[in-house]
Amino acid sequence: MALAKYLAFDLGASSGRAIVGIYDKNNLQLVETHRFPNRMAQINGHFHWDILQLFEEIKTGLAQTVKAGHQDIRSIGVDTWGVDFGLIGRGGVVLGNPYAYRDMQPETMLKVFEKISRQELYFKTGIQFMTFNSIFQLYRLVDEQNPLLDVAEKLLFIPDMLNYFLTGTMVSEYTIASTSQLLDPWHKTWAKELFDRLNLPFDIMAEIVPPGTTIGQLRKDIAEKTGLPNVKVVAPACHDTASAVAAVPAEGDNWAYLSSGTWSLIGIEASEPIINENALANNFTNEGGVHDKIRFLKNVAGLWLVQRCKSDWQKEGVDLSFSELTQLAKEAGPSTCHVDPDDQKLANPANMPQAIMDYCRDSNQPVPETKGQIIRCILESLALKYKHVLDNLNTMLPQPLQRLFIVGGGSQNLLLNQLTEETTGLKVIAGPAEATGIGNLTMQKYADG
pLDDT tens figures, 155-182: 999 999 999 999 999 999 999 999 999 9
Enumerate domains of the chain plus CATH numbers. Answer: 3-241 (3.30.420.40), 248-431 (3.30.420.40)
CA separation for the pair 83, 100 (Å, rounded) = 9
Cβ atoms of residues 74 and 6 within 8 Å = yes
CA separation for the pair 292, 270 (Å, rounded) = 9
Span 208-223, mean pLDDT?
A: 98
Span 251-268, mean pLDDT?
A: 94
What pLDDT score was predicted for residue 132? 94
pLDDT tens track for 16-60 = 999 999 999 889 999 999 999 999 999 998 999 999 999 999 999
Share of the chain above pLDDT 70, in %: 100
Instruction: Please report which confidence band the pLDDT of residue 282 belongs to, taking 50, 70 and 90 as the band edges.
Output: very high
Instruction: Please report which confidence band the pLDDT of residue 407 belongs to, taking 50, 70 and 90 as the band edges.
Output: very high
Q: Of 240, 292, 391, 448, which residue is the catalytic one?
A: 240
Instruction: Please report which confidence band the pLDDT of residue 72 belongs to, taking 50, 70 and 90 as the band edges.
Output: very high
Query: Which alpha helices (DSSP H) does 172-321 contain, by range?
Result: 174-177, 192-198, 220-226, 240-246, 277-281, 304-315
What pLDDT score was predicted for residue 251? 86
What residues contact 196, with CB distance under 8 A and at least 6 apart?
202
End-to-end CA, the chain: 9
Instruction: Please report which confidence band the pLDDT of residue 92 belongs to, taking 50, 70 and 90 as the band edges.
Output: very high
The yes-or-no answer on residue 362 being catalytic is no
Span 329-340, mean pLDDT?
A: 98
Bridge partners for 11 per DSSP: 16
CA separation for the pair 40, 50 (Å, rounded) = 7
CA separation for the pair 178, 189 (Å, rounded) = 9
Strand 403-407, strand 255-260: pairing: parallel
- Sheet with 27-37: strands ordered across: 27-37, 15-24, 3-11, 75-79, 232-235, 213-217
CA separation for the pair 22, 91 (Å, rounded) = 37
pLDDT at 262 over 90: no
CA separation for the pair 182, 195 (Å, rounded) = 8
What residues contact 391, with CB distance under 8 A and at least 6 apart?
none
Residue type, 158: I
Share of the chain above pLDDT 90, in %: 94
What pLDDT score was predicted for residue 102? 83
Cβ atoms of residues 355 and 349 within 8 Å = yes
pLDDT at 1 over 60: no
pLDDT tens track for 185-210 = 999 999 999 999 999 999 999 999 99
With b meaning 16 or more CB within 10 Å and e meaning fewer, what string describes 124-153? bbbbbbbbbbbbbbbbbbebeeeeebeebb
CA separation for the pair 198, 298 (Å, rounded) = 25
What pLDDT score was predicted for residue 38? 95
CA separation for the pair 47, 39 (Å, rounded) = 10
Q: Determine if the peptide bond prior to 400 is cis (ω within 30°).
A: no
pLDDT tens track for 100-136 = 998 877 899 999 999 999 999 999 999 999 999 999 9
Span 354-359, mean pLDDT?
A: 99
What pLDDT score was predicted for residue 252? 86
Instruction: Please report which confidence band the pLDDT of residue 230 belongs to, taking 50, 70 and 90 as the band edges.
Output: confident
What residues contact 192, with CB distance under 8 A and at least 6 apart?
202
What pLDDT score was predicted for residue 191? 98
What pLDDT score was predicted for residue 228? 95
What pLDDT score was predicted for residue 399? 94
Other beta carbons within 10 angstroms of residue 116's beta carbon come to: 15
pLDDT at 79 over 80: yes
Bridge partners for 406 per DSSP: 258, 430
